[in-house]
Amino acid sequence: MASYILRRLFFLIFVLFGISVIVFGIMMSFGPERRAAAYITTPQQINAIPEIIKTYGLDDPFVIQYVRWIKEISKGNFGWSRYGAMPVWDALLTYLPITIELNLFAAPLTIILGIWLGTRAGIHKNTFIDHVTRITSVIGWSLPTFLFGLILLMVFYGLTQWFPPGVLDDKFIREIIQHPDRFTAYTGMYTVDGILNNRWDITLNALRHLVLPVMTQVVVVVAVLVRVMRSSMIEEMSKEFVLTARAKGASERTVNLLHVKKNALIPAVTVAGWLVALSLQGSIAVEIIFNRPGIGQWTAASAIALEMAPVMGMCVFLAIVYLTTNLIIDILYAVIDPRIRLE
């Protein structure tokens, strides 16, 4: 197992190389002028474009520019993010925790809820429970994120003031800015930092801000998992080993929750892993509606402004996320299914 993981991590280097070439190639398909435009901020600088191209070597051959880019990256320099007004690496460290914080709560909830509901719906196929689960999950799935988020915001903030948007109450933010020595940002996630700094009031407040975005994220995403788990349960329930188990004298509960469910989990694990990887690129709608400056907002804004550096950085980051998720899924497969051996 350990050697398998090491080997997979080793191959990651080659995959990353491939991805970086592709991403860089796409970026290079823009002309040097277009890329130089990202450096100018005022109309007066337009005349400076040829100079910028020359200084930064934007019309050099592909290989040279690529090697230059890789060299800078290996030094930790991912470039400058104009939207964030800071280096890309710092921007990533600033925005990413906010997205991760959301998924830290949304992902386990989605997986637990999705598998639980899917299992129940599968066992009680075509009964009231099944219909209710399916109808609700389809409604959740087909409601646009922004609409559902806005409705939640209207009810729980507009009408009742229970769960405000944003990341933290203003008074706490002010306190943190004014006394940086009292509150250390270990992770950038206020819920976790609050505990680490022994400031439970901040953690609780951050959690209050998280309720609505987490709810939106879960409701929108969970339907996929419910459907996969349900159909996988139904498929496994018709297999012959179920009859063997029943003929052995197993109770309905043992048959469904041990024999069937463990088999049915195999496809669900793939979907769950994929959903988590997908949410790590940040849901733009959730982040904008609930005013959480996460990585989705940042990537979208950077891409619109054609900022090469952040987009490339993001691509490399997402590649790493997807590859690690795939590795984790493969390991989980081997844990659940003995037929799959990691070699």
Polymer length of the chain: 343
Contact criterion met (CB below 8 Å) for 134 and 121: yes
Residue among 55, 151, 251, 257 that touches other proteins (CB under 8 A): 251
Sign (positive or negative) of CA dihedral 187, 190, 191, 196: positive
Nearest to 78 by CA among 323, 298, 322, 293: 298
SS3 309: helix
Which helix H or strand E contains 224, and what residues bound it?
A: helix 200-237
Q: In the complex, what is the shortest distance from the CB of residue 237 to other proteins, in angstroms, rounded to a whole number?
A: 9
Q: Binding to other proteins by residue 70, rule CB under 8 A?
A: no
Q: In the complex, what is the shortest distance from the CB of residue 242 to other proteins, in angstroms, rounded to a whole number?
A: 8
Residue among 8, 34, 124, 246 that touches other proteins (CB under 8 A): 246
Q: Binding to other proteins by residue 253, rule CB under 8 A?
A: no
SS3 187: coil
Q: Binding to other proteins by residue 1, rule CB under 8 A?
A: no
Residue among 138, 155, 243, 306 that touches other proteins (CB under 8 A): 243
Q: In the complex, what is the shortest distance from the CB of residue 253 to other proteins, in angstroms, rounded to a whole number?
A: 11
Q: Which residue lies nearer to other proteins by CB, 107 or 265?
A: 265
Query: In this structure, what token pair is assigned to residue 50?
Result: 């040829």
Contact criterion met (CB below 8 Å) for 280 and 103: yes
Binding mask 257-296 for other proteins (x = CB under 8 A): --x--xx---------------------------------
Q: In the complex, what is the shortest distance from the CB of residue 326 to other proteins, in angstroms, rounded to a whole number?
A: 21
- Amino acid present at 243: L
Q: Which of residues 88-147 bind other proteins (CB under 8 A)?
A: none
Report the alpha-carbon distance of residue 211 to residue 149 in Å, rounded. 11
Report the alpha-carbon distance of residue 338 to residue 325 in Å, rounded. 20
Report the alpha-carbon distance of residue 28 to residue 19 in Å, rounded. 14
Q: Binding to other proteins by residue 338, rule CB under 8 A?
A: yes
Cα angle, residue 247 at apex, residues 241 and 248 outer, rounded to 5°: 90
Residue among 161, 247, 304, 343 that touches other proteins (CB under 8 A): 247
Q: Which stretch binds other proteins (CB under 8 A): 4-12, 13-21, 94-102, 245-253?
A: 245-253
Contact criterion met (CB below 8 Å) for 234 and 125: yes
Q: In the complex, what is the shortest distance from the CB of residue 218 to other proteins, in angstroms, rounded to a whole number?
A: 29
Q: In the complex, what is the shortest distance from the CB of residue 276 to other proteins, in angstroms, rounded to a whole number?
A: 23
Which helix H or strand E contains 87, and what residues bound it?
A: strand 86-87
Q: Binding to other proteins by residue 182, rule CB under 8 A?
A: no
Q: In the complex, what is the shortest distance from the CB of residue 248 to other proteins, in angstroms, rounded to a whole number?
A: 4
Q: Which residues contact 21 (CB under 8 A, 6 or more apart)?
A: 66
Q: Binding to other proteins by residue 238, rule CB under 8 A?
A: yes
Q: Which residue lies nearer to other proteins by CB, 265 or 311?
A: 265
Residue among 75, 171, 179, 339 that touches other proteins (CB under 8 A): 339
Query: In this structure, what token pair is assigned to residue 24?
Result: 């860089």
Instruction: By CB under 8 A, name the binding residues for other proteins.
Output: 238-241, 243-252, 259, 262-263, 336-339
